[in-house]
Each structure stands twice: as structure tokens, then as C-alpha cells.
Chains A and B, each alone.
Chain A
Amino acid sequence: MGVLDHVWLGVLAVFTAEPAFSIFGLPISITLVMVFSGFVGGIVVGATPGLGGPFAMAVSLPILISVFGFTPDALLPVLGFLVGIMKGSTIGGAVPAILFNTPGTPDSVLTTFDGYPMTRNGQSGKALRVAHFSSVTGDTFSDIVLITSAPFLAIMVERFLDFPEKAALIILSLAFISAVVGRSVWKGILGALLGLFFAYIGTGEDGYPRLSMGSEELGNGFPLVSAVVGVLILGEVFKSMEDMWREMRERSEITMIEEKGDNKLRLADIRRILPFVGLSAVIGTAIGALPGIGSVLAATLGYASGKKMYKGDKSFGEGVPEGVAATEAANSSVAGANLIPVLSLGIPGNVSAVFIILAAESIGGFNPGPTVFRVIPDQINPEMVIVFGLFTTMICANILNWTLGGIFMRATGVMVKVPKQRLLAVVLLLTPTAIYVQNTDMFAIYFTLFFGFIGYLMRKLDISVLPFVIAFILANRLEEAMRQAFSATGGNPWFLFDSPISIAFIAIAVIVVVFFARNKKALG
């Protein structure tokens, strides 16, 4: 049996197995129904600040397993649902980012930079259409790359990265982000280092949680979601509320943002944003194929490169569609490529991919890894059938995305009519509630408010919050990689300078910092 036979069997497995009901005599399989429900659920969850795709996956996976059981037949419906959530939440995340300056998912933080100013200029409809078009284009591109090149690419990438190189790569990423984002390189680096430091409080290998000053609540460190959501969302809520409060005292009237002018996505718009979408899709896909580096970095790099490439009268950050396009195409094109290392090596590149692996592991009959793509002479490799079935569900989700995704986003444009100070007040309750149902601990709420205060101060003092948040996310992975590299090299303190690749990573990190420290002001 050749590869093409497996492709065909995979497609058949999605469309013909277990019809749930029929439309015009055409049987609709349970897998398609699951892709559809996952997609719709994903959009809603993604558009809900404080929730995200991974949360929806975590909640639904045990339920799905209970419903479908542990037979290989359960694989495609469950994986299809997860794929649906993954794709839906990616485009859903852009909606609150554009309309309310509140990222629905961490990777849409940068969407707020231009998406929200566009809303302020009465261009929310156009911003949503640009986001949707870029997102779906990036996603589709990424899936095509995944499907055509899955086995080869990831094997190449992974072969060269050992523990020391992984540590060096994280250092390089942090240095790059700190240097690029914000006005002052040193403030960016300060922010990143503070993020690292906060992540190290209450964690560590020893039984006593370091730097916790004996408090039980810090026994497992600050919850990731508290730090991220507090700094990014509540910090912004506090800052915006203060701005509105000041305006109120002066004018006692609040500015409403309504759509005005042409909000359609014209062919001319598409021509304008297409180069940015293309570049970001390539960046996002490349980042996605690297294990352990997620859509946040892809969005950052996509935005930064778009900023470099852009030549126009208004600059990035003032509400240009290219900014939205660059970010959304980059963060969406991570999703497909993220499955490259998962399917070819069994190594997840991000949280969503982790849940794909978990589903496969829990159900059985599908063991993501190099064996998946093995052609067995005269036999069907059932795992390869599942992989191509999975690809088919991704294509189905993309078709849904092209058609229904846009309708949904346009439909939610209505929400912009809500007065902002009232909406922000609701976010002030929604965010802690969402965090609470995940953590069931009042301290998670207190910590979130604490980080909200930090986020507010950082904004007041002109320190970029992004390096802080990304450093917080990567901090423990960095420390772990360092510990493992140290142990694996038998206690060599110079492990970072032991291989040409890690030396190169560190050298580039230093060069990036020095370059931007010297040239930032000149670059404007």
C-alpha cells in the first residue's frame, strides 16, 4: 500500500464513517459534526477574554473521551473537535483584541496594537475583515506546508537542538523581543528580567518554594494565567479607566467609537496587505515548526518584520491594516506547522499540540512519532490513515473558516456599541471569574489583581509589557533547559559555549541587543 492509498483511506474515514444525520440524502459523518461544533465553540471561547483554546480543550477532552470511548474509531471525532477549537479560537481571539483592546488569546496581544486604533478611527469592521482574511490565509498556508512537508522539516530542525542549544535559543528569543519591542532597549531588557524573576518566585526543585517568604499560597509560584492576564488585561483596564476618568473630569462625556466610512474589504485592501500576510505566514510557519516556541513569538516577529517592511504615512501602532494583517497571519500560521514536530517526532510545539497528543495517547491506536509515516509493504498502516484523516479534518475546518468564520466576526461587530467604561467594568469581573474557574483559589484572583497593578505601573512608566510576559512564560522552560544541559554535559559550566549552534545563538543575542541599544533612536 502506497502513501496515496493511505491518503484516500484517511479522507474516507472522515467522510463516511458513522453518519450522524443526512442533509438532502447526503450522510454527514460524526467527525464532520465534531469539527463544526469544535470550530463554533472555539470562536466563542477565543472571543471570550480570559478563556482560550487550551482551556476549552482541557475541559472538553475528558468529556469527549467519556462520550467516544477508547476505540480507534474515537480518534478522528475527538481530534477533529480539537482541531476545530484550535482554528476557531485563533480567529476568535482577534475579535476582543480589535474591538476592546483586550486580547482574547495571548497571541493576539499585538493585534490590539493596530486593530484597536483602527476601531478608534471607526474602522472596526475593516479591521475584523483584515484579521479574518489574514488569519485564514496564514492558517491555510501553514496547513499546506504541514501536509506536504511534515516528516522532513521537523527531523532536520530537531536533529541539531540538544539541551544546551534549547537554552541558548530561549535566551536568543528573549533578547530579541526585549530589544525590538518598545522605545528603550534597556527598559525592554529590564522588563524581561523582571518577568524571569517573578516566574522564579515560589518555584524551583527543592521542597521549599524559593523566595516565597514561607507563604503557602506561593507554593507553586504565581499561576501563569494570573501573570499573563493580570499584566496584559487588567493593567490595560486600569490604565484605560484612568484615562477615561481624567477625560470625564474635564469633559464629563465619553467618546463613543462607531464605524464610519468604508468598512468593506476591497480588492485594493487585499492587494495592500497581501505581501504582509505572505511574509508573516512564512515566519509563523517557520516558528511553528520549531518545538517549544509558540504563536506569541510568531506574532511578535511577524509584527516586527511587517513594521520594517511598511512604508506609509501612518506608522504601525496608529491603526494601519497592515499591522493587523502581519500579526494575525503570523499567529494563525503557527497552528498547522505546530503539528509538524508533534506528528513526526511526538514533540508538541505548543499547548494546543499537547492536547492533540494527549487525546491520541488516552484513546490509543495512534502513537504520534516517526513510525506514523512508515510505509509497510502490502499492509495498511492504520496510524498513517489517522494522520491523513487528521489532515482532512484540518482542511474541513479551513473551509468552515473561510465561509462561516467571517460571518461570525462581522456579527460580533455589534458589540462595539457598548460604552467602553461599562464594558471594561464587566471585564474586571469576567477576568477574575474566568481565572477562578480554572484555578479554584481566591489567591489566583488576588495575584491577578497584583499583576494588574504591575501592568498599570509598567504602562505609566513606559516599560513594554510584552517582554515581561514572554519572559514569565519561558522562564521555567529556560531554567529547566539549563539544569538539564548542565547535568547532561556532566556538570560543564560552559555548556552554552560547547557547540557551534549554541555559540551562534548567544552571539546573535548579544549582537541584537548591542545593535538596537546603539541604533534604536536613529531608527525612530
Chain B
Amino acid sequence: MTLKTAKKVLVSAALGVAAVGLMAGSAAAEWKPKGPISLMIGFAAGGGTDTQARLIASELQKRKGWKVIPSNVAGRGGALMARKLKSLPNDGTAIGMAVTESFGYNMLASKNPGYTADDFTYITTTTGSQMGLVVKASKGWKTWDDFLKAARAGTVKFGGMSQKHADVNYLLEQKYGVKFNTVILRGGRAVMNALNAGDIDIGYGAGIQAKAVKSGDMINLVSGVGKRIPYSPNAPTLIELGIPYDIGAKFIVVGPKGMSADARNTLAAAFAEVISDKNSEVNKFVTARYTGPDLISGKALDDFIKNGLKESKTLMSVTN
């Protein structure tokens, strides 16, 4: 045995011991919920958040033996759920699922949301949206420039899902010297319906358009997230177009503020385990419909929320 190999063995043995120690330590301190966990879903039954939450709940029940009871507290883009959640016990038996916007732009844009970003413990994100500006292929617009030409020639009806999209549209109008008739619709499905029916010419899609784009029925002209969308590589991002915002939302799990680190970490780890397991139904769901597992937790998540708030404030101030 050379000195080098001996050193390797020693190091790995030490690592092994440390690892076993850590595992034992974590096993001893393993947090367990006192009683059933209420999982409040900030959106209506059948939507993307609802499907994820219910799949996760049944999987957690199977794997962890926890009783997880999902219920829909839908309304005002997750705000109603947030208001209800903030005053519930912070022992990990009351958690909620909504989107990052519920604790960012939408909260700030509301005159009286009834909660602040500090009222919550942020547990983990689950997956993200592939936000795109999408049109029907039959319109004949292949690129953003084609669309701009049409927009300059006459008015176009532009469907968004929140005031944030109206703000981004305003920036686009300023930048390109055009005018849109912006229509706010309730949710991605409504946008898809309006596009299909010809009620609007272009709309924001948060991933719901993926299948239609892949089949050639619709085209993503622009990517709303920081990166280009993998299946629409020719669509520039908003940032490339000179609108410096990433408007992709993520799904997020939160609890009332002041949750113990134990509870927070155990819950985050449990969610992560279920979502990243390739065989789980929820993994298949978020992969088919969204960007696949996108798990941010702990300090990174706190920073993500803070940054989102800052960006939203900037966006609101420049469009005012």
C-alpha cells in the first residue's frame, strides 16, 4: 500500500464515519408532525397547483406515514390562502402551496393584500413555468418581428394573466412604439381558449402551451424566463429584447412565519425526495407540463423571494 492509497483509505473511512454520524444525528432529530398536516392549495381543484399538491400529499402519506390533508382555498391568485395560512400554528402541521407571485408582484400590486412577505416561512419551490409569448401558427407570424409588423399595421389583442403582464406589455409598447389592447384573463387555460377562439391575437402561456407548440399548432415568439425555451430555441428572451425581467413564476410551498428549522428542513427534504424521484407521479407531471423538478429551499429560497420583491418593485416604479 503506497502512502497515497493509505491516505485515500483513511480519508474515505473518516468521511464514511462522518456520514454515518450525520445520518444517525439526523435520524435522532428527525422531525415529525404533531397530528395531521393541512396542505392548503391556493388555487382551484383541477389546476396545475392542485394536481401537484394532491399527488405530493398522497405520496408523502405513503412514504413518510404522515397524514396529509389537501384542501382548496382558492381565490385572488393564492392571496386568500396566504391570508388564512399566516395565522395558523407554525409547527409544520399547516402549510400551503401557491406560486412565487403570490408573495411577490401580485402581493405588492394589491392595495390591501392582508399579509406581507415576512408573514411566512418559505419551505421549497417545486417546479417552474416556461413562460412564453405565444401565438397561433395560423396567424402566419413566425418571429417577434413578424408580429411587430402586424402590431404596427393595426391593433392587436394581447391576453395576459396578471397586471404584471400588462406592465411588461407597457414596456414593450414603449420600446417598440406600438399599442396593444391588453386583456387580463383568468389563468392559462383562459388564455389558451381565447387564442384558439381568435378572441386574442397573442397571449402569455406559462407552459400550458407546450403541447400545442410542439405539435406546430402554436408558436412561442418570446421566452418570458431568463433562458430560451428548449423546444422553441429561436424565440429570444424578454431580456434579449431589452426588457430586463424574468417573469417566470415558480410553484412554492410555504408555512406560517417562525417555523422551526427542523420542521422546515424536514418538510423541504420530504418534498424534494418525492418530486425528484423519477418514478413518482408528481415528477412525471412536472416534467410533462413544467420545467421538471426545480427545488430551491433554505437560505437560497429566502434570497430568491427577496430578489423577486425587489424586481417587482422596480418593474412597478418604471411603469408608473
Contact with B184, one of A161, A162, A347, A483 (Cβ below 8 angstroms): A483
Taken together as a complex, chains A and B put the C-alpha atoms of A409 and B83 apart, in Å, by 46
CA A354 to CA B198, docked complex, whole Å: 19
Contacts of A362 in B (CB 8 A): 51, 285, 289
C-alpha spacing A219/B113, complex, angstroms: 10
Closest Cβ neighbor of A67 among chain B residues: B281
A207-B193 contact given A163-B199, A487-B182, CB 8 Å threshold? no
CB-CB under 8 A from A209, the residues of chain B are 76
Docked complex Cα distance between A219 and B281 (Å): 33
Quick check: A367 and B215 within 8 Å, CB to CB?
Answer: yes
Q: Which residue of A lies closest to B284 (CB)?
A: A70
Whether A480 and B217, one on each chain, are in contact in the complex, defined by CB atoms closer than 8 angstroms, is: no
Cβ–Cβ contact A69 & B196, under 8 A: no
Q: Which of B6-14, B104-112, B222-230, B254-262 contacts A (4 or more CB under 8 A)?
A: B104-112
Instruction: State the interface size on chain B (CB cutoff 8 A).
Output: 47
Q: Does A489 contact B (CB under 8 A)?
A: yes
Task: Please tell me which one of the listed residues A220, A369, A490 contacts residue B212 in the complex, with CB atoms under 8 A apart.
Answer: A369
- A66/B58 in contact, CB under 8 A: yes
Is the pair B55, A207 in contact by a Cβ cutoff of 8 Å? no
Contact B111–A207 (Cβ < 8 Å): yes
Q: Are B157 and A69 in contact (CB under 8 A)?
A: no
Closest to B45 in A: A58
Q: Contacts A345-B196, A354-B46, A488-B200 given: A69-B281 contact, CB under 8 Å? A: yes
Cα-based distance from A471 to B254 in the complex (angstroms): 37
Within the complex, which residue of A61, A220, A488 is in contact with B199, where a contact is CB–CB below 8 Å?
A488
CA distance A365 to B20 in the complex (A): 45
Chain A residues whose C-beta falls within 8 Å of the C-beta of B112 in the assembled complex: 207-208
Q: Scoring A residues 471 to 508 as 1 if CB is less than 8 Å from chain B, else 0, what string do you get?
A: 00000000010011001111000000000000000000
A368 — nearest CB in chain B belongs to which residue? B196
User: Within 8 Å of chain B (Cβ to Cβ): is A364?
Assistant: yes
Q: Which residue from chain B places its CB closest to the CB of A68 in the assembled complex?
A: B281
Bound CA–CA A299/B112 (angstroms): 42
- Find chain B residues with CB under 8 A from A346 CB: 192-193, 196
Indicate with 1 or 0, residue by residue over A123-155, a CB within 8 angstroms of chain B CB atoms.
000000000000000000000000000000000
Contact of B51 among A62, A440, A489 (CB under 8 A): A62
Q: Is the CB of A69 within 8 A of B83?
A: no
A150 → chain B closest CB, angstroms: 15
- The answer to the question of B80 belonging to the interface, with a C-beta cut-off of 8 Å to chain A, is yes
Residues of A within 8 Å of B200, CB to CB, are 488
Q: Which of B183, B192, B288 has the most CB of A within 10 A?
A: B183
Q: A347-B196, A347-B197 are in contact. Are A65 and B281 (CB under 8 A)?
A: yes
Q: Looking at the complex, which one of B184, B215, B288 makes contact with A487 (CB distance below 8 Å)?
A: B184
Q: Give the docked Cα–Cα distance between A207 and B110 (Å).
A: 5
**Closest-CB distance, A210 to chain B (whole angstroms):** 12
Q: Is residue B99 contacting chain A, with contact meaning CB distance below 8 A?
A: no
Give complex CA distance A462, B142 in Å.
60
B155 contact set on A, CB distance < 8 A: 490
- Specify which of B50, B84, B113, B215 is in contact with A207 (CB 8 Å cutoff): B113
Candidates B113, B193, B198, B211; contact of A367 at CB < 8 Å? B211
Q: Which of A364, A370, A371, A489 contacts B181 (CB 8 A)?
A: A489
Q: Is the CB of B212 within 8 A of A367?
A: yes
Q: How far is the CA of A355 from the CA of B189 in the complex (A)?
A: 12
- A206 and B109 CA atoms in complex are apart in Å by 9
A358 near B: Cβ within 8 Å?
Answer: yes
Knowing A70-B281, A371-B215 touch, does A220 contact B74 (C-beta < 8 A)?
A: yes
B21 within 8 A of A: no
Smallest beta-carbon distance B276→chain A, Å = 17
**Known A70-B288, A162-B199, A367-B215: A65·B51 in contact at CB below 8 Å:** yes
B235 CB–A CB distance under 8 Å: no
**B243 within 8 Å of A by Cβ?**
no
Cα(A207)–Cα(B74), bound, Å: 14
Contact with A along B23-42 (1 / 0, CB 8 A): 00000000000000000000
B195 to chain A, nearest CB (A): 9
- Point out the residues of chain A lying under 8 angstroms from B110, CB to CB: 206-208
Q: Check A62–B54 contact: CB distance below 8 A.
A: yes
B79 within 8 A of A: yes
Known: A70-B281, A367-B215. A219 touches B80 (CB 8 A): yes
Tell which of B74, B155, B197 has the most Cβ of chain A within 10 Å: B197
Bound complex: CA A248 to CA B51 (Å): 51
Minimum distance in angstroms from A246 CB to a CB of chain B: 41
Q: A216–B199 contact, CB under 8 A?
A: no
Instruction: Using CB atoms, name the residue of chain B closest to A203.
Output: B75
Of A61, A66, A219, A361, which contacts B83 at CB under 8 A?
A: A219
Measured between beta carbons, the chain B residues less than 8 angstroms from A490 are: 155, 181
A158 lies within 8 A of chain B by Cβ: yes
A-B CB contact pairs (8 Å), 19 listed? A66-B281, A163-B199, A207-B112, A209-B76, A219-B80, A220-B75, A345-B197, A346-B192, A347-B193, A347-B197, A354-B46, A361-B208, A364-B211, A371-B217, A488-B181, A488-B200, A489-B181, A490-B155, A490-B181
